[in-house]
Structure 1
Amino acid sequence: MKRIKYTFLLCFIFISGALFSQVDSVRFVNDNVIVGEVKGMNQGVLTIETDYSDDDFTIEWEGIKSISTKTSFLITISDGRRYNGNIHSMEDGKIKIITLEGRSTIVSPDEIVFMESVDKDFWSKMNASIDFGWDLTKANNLRQSSLRSNIGYKAERWSISTYYNAFSSNQDSVSKVSRDDAGIGFRYYFQRKWFGGLSTSFFSNTEQKLLLRSNGKLGAGTYIIQTNAVYWNIAAGASFNSERYEQSADDRESIEGFVDTELNLFDTGDLSLRTKITLYPGITESGRWRSDFNFDVKYDLPKDFYIKMGITFNYDNMPVQGASESDYVFATGFGWEL
């Protein structure tokens, strides 16, 4: 009798623990239901963790018929509003957001563009990726390598990110070609779609005889489009530019303005596209302007691996003597992301 009682008690504790941990429920458009803990939603993909699976489930947001959570989230709406609270689907297909203060707001499902669990630990708020490329050709013993990497952290109202990219090319009877760029940026998110930013970047390029360009930027921007399929933002401000060249007589320091815009398309299955262009009109160097252009295409593979192709283009209408006005790199790589 005691054995039966203890067995029943253990089963009760196990089931109760499972039910307690599975606080959120999601119903698909085919009426299947999954119960667990919703971790968040980003770029049109919702992630939910269950007790009976080693890996988290990922579900297209548009494939969800209804959702109800006890987990609290930082929720971003397409018009830039931000809420802290949980969400519940209504009979008419709308979603009710109940804030931690008890206030409620009703929105359409496609208006919710981002959700992040308020209870996430440090590592859950991190994102990172790294990819490599390598080319070897017998002719002239050509060897090329490329590396691109980034690490980011996103909190409730701010985010910080850093990156490092490198390209190197060696071949017989030709001078080595290399270019490296790195940077770190901080962004604070205001209400609606506005944000402020502060960043520092470092760049070197043998094609433009540039040993090191240090650039600090301060500005503000806004999201023109922010949905579950695409985001597009624009920012502007001022920057301080310090340049060191192979010939010290060519060294420069100047103040510039900047305008940049970024477009990211990610609701295309396993394919995503990102492009960014930045223009730097000279302020203390009248008539000078520079531009940086990036375009990347990424295809997701299983287990968080991916392949990527991208082009980077730099232009300066007033290069130093003997240097090229422009330079570009086309790179392919295989990588992994967190």
Structure 2
Amino acid sequence: MNKLFTLFLLIFVIHYTSFSQNDSLVLNNGDFIVGDLKSMFKGVLTIEPSYSDSDFKIKWKDVKELKATQRYFIALSDGLRTNGTLKSSGIGKLIIHKGEGDYLTVNQSDVVYIKSIDSGFLSRLSANIDFGFTLTKANNQQQLNGNLRMGYLADKWTTRLFYNTLLTKQDDASDIRRNDAGIEFLYILPEDWVLGASVNLLSNTEQSLDLRLTSKMGIGNYLKYSNTMYWNVLAGFAYNTESFLPILNPEQGITTTTPNRKSFEGFLKTELNIYDLGDLELFTNIILYPTIFSDTNVKSGRTRVDFRFDVKYDDLFIEDFYIRAGYNLNYDNRPAEAGKALDYIFTTGFGWEW
């Protein structure tokens, strides 16, 4: 009985292995790989070979021929989203078999995303987190910064979440703190158009901000989306509410607070992500907020600007770990009474990406 059970188990394992590892690649250098093709994103294909438990990461441009028998969700650079199996058809061409008698021939270079449609929630989730710490003997200064990024890609929509924090303490000086967070939702339309909605929160001592809450809705377009980069623009309207930190007047011995503000703004955002620079990845965005109308606590002609620039280096001796350097800037030409017009920070950190 035990022998019969072992035989059935062996047959099942062989069958399952052959089924789940029936994808194949031929690389430009002639190497042949058979395994389980998991995904392709940002110009990097991930496959688990039949002879290894570790994933191989291969540049998409180094793949000469491909056969993927599982069904995949596939995104093209022109905004088209579809699903099916994949097979090479001549040099630089792929056939997507969507169903019985339904085929689509595309350029391999136009495929920007591949993911198994049988994958669960976690397989479509991406995340990275990093921390940095600085200790200076002078004034016993200590600085801690942390950054979290998460993203989820579905067939017709994508969402991103971020959180940044910085805290500086030193002797004989007030603490400096800054917290920046947000969540963004994009619904994908034909021809690389998108509908977007987001909520952002910001607090910092430099601009005397207790909390700035900005809600945005708009429409945009991916001007460029490929296996090396993406560049998009988004425009629309924003509703902004602000509360401020108390102000201590030592001469009068009293504490006052700038009245809360509410304003309706336009916004224009552009974002660029370049991920084919060897082991470097560059990300930057800038958002312009011109005020359309506001309550009586805000002077006319107000304009705000948010800017971010990140550099990430991931060729470390530990897989999936990276080093990041980032610069964030917030400008307001009508700051609070005790606040400054400009606040910026430069941070570095060591992190992990999933």
| 1:61-80 mapped onto 2 (5 Å cutoff) | 61-80=60-79
Is 1:314 matched with 2:330?
A: yes
Is 1:161 matched with 2:175?
A: no
Partner of 1:279: 288
Is 1:337 matched with 2:346?
A: no
Q: Contact conserved, 2:38 with 2:48, CA < 8 A, in 1?
A: yes
Given the superposition, is the C-alpha separation of residues 89 and 73 from structure 1 closer, same or farther in structure 2, using an over 3 Å criterion?
Answer: same
Given the superposition, is the C-alpha separation of residues 105 and 251 from structure 1 closer, same or farther in structure 2, using an over 3 Å criterion?
Answer: same
Shift in Å at residue 311 of structure 1? 0.3
Distance 2:258 2:12 in 1: 77
Partner of 2:302: 288
Partner of 1:265: 274
Distance 2:16 2:331 in 1: 60
Distance 2:9 2:70 in 1: 27
Q: Contact conserved, 1:84 with 1:100, CA < 8 A, in 2?
A: no
Shift in Å at residue 20 of structure 1? 1.7
Distance 1:143 1:287 in 2: 38
Instruction: Extract unaligned runs of 5+ from structure 2.
Output: 247-256, 295-299
Distance 2:37 2:202 in 1: 41
Distance 2:159 2:32 in 1: 36
SS of the residue aligned with 2:335?
coil
Q: Contact conserved, 2:258 with 2:336, CA < 8 A, in 1?
A: no
Distance 1:14 1:175 in 2: 64
CA deviation map 1:120-167 (0-9, x unaligned): 111111111111010001111111110111222221111222221101
CA deviation map 1:16-45 (0-9, x unaligned): 332222121111112221112211110000
Shift in Å at residue 81 of structure 1? 1.5
Partner of 1:54: 53
Given the superposition, is the C-alpha separation of residues 4 and 250 from structure 1 closer, same or farther in structure 2, using an over 3 Å criterion?
Answer: closer
What letter corresponds to residue 321 of structure 2 in structure 1?
F
SS of the residue aligned with 1:174?
coil
Q: Judge which range, 75-84 or 205-214, deviates more.
A: 75-84
Given the superposition, is the C-alpha separation of residues 3 and 253 from structure 1 closer, same or farther in structure 2, using an over 3 Å criterion?
Answer: closer
Is 1:148 matched with 2:130?
A: no
Q: Judge which range, 270-279 or 79-88, deviates more.
A: 79-88
Partner of 2:249: none
What letter corresponds to residue 287 of structure 2 in structure 1?
T
Q: Contact conserved, 1:238 with 1:256, CA < 8 A, in 2?
A: yes
Distance 2:323 2:177 in 1: 23
Percent identity of equivalent pairs:
44
Q: Judge which range, 31-40 or 261-270, deviates more.
A: 31-40
CA deviation map 1:293-330 (0-9, x unaligned): 00000001532111100100110011122321101000
Partner of 2:186: 187
Given the superposition, is the C-alpha separation of residues 25 and 318 from structure 1 closer, same or farther in structure 2, using an over 3 Å criterion?
Answer: same
What letter corresponds to residue 30 of structure 2 in structure 1?
D
Name the TM-score, length of structure 1 as normaliser: 0.94
CA deviation map 1:64-116 (0-9, x unaligned): 01001111112111111121112110134311112136422212111111112
Q: Contact conserved, 2:92 with 2:109, CA < 8 A, in 1?
A: no
Given the superposition, is the C-alpha separation of residues 176 and 101 from structure 1 closer, same or farther in structure 2, using an over 3 Å criterion?
Answer: farther
Partner of 2:253: none
Name the TM-score, length of structure 2 as normaliser: 0.90
Distance 2:24 2:199 in 1: 43
Q: Contact conserved, 1:152 with 1:159, CA < 8 A, in 2?
A: yes
Q: Contact conserved, 1:70 with 1:86, CA < 8 A, in 2?
A: yes
Instruction: Extract unaligned runs of 5+ from structure 1.
Output: none
Is 1:34 matched with 2:29?
A: no
Shift in Å at residue 4 of structure 1? 11
Distance 1:61 1:271 in 2: 17
SS of the residue aligned with 1:235?
strand
Query: In structure 2, which of residues 256, 264, 278 is the aligned counterpart of residue 255 of structure 1?
Result: 264
**Aligned-CA RMSD value:** 2.1
Partner of 1:219: 218
Partner of 2:97: 98
| 1:79-118 mapped onto 2 (5 Å cutoff) | 79-100=78-99, 102-118=101-117
Is 1:297 matched with 2:295?
A: no
Distance 2:287 2:266 in 1: 10
SS of the residue aligned with 2:227?
coil
What letter corresponds to residue 62 of structure 1 in structure 2?
K
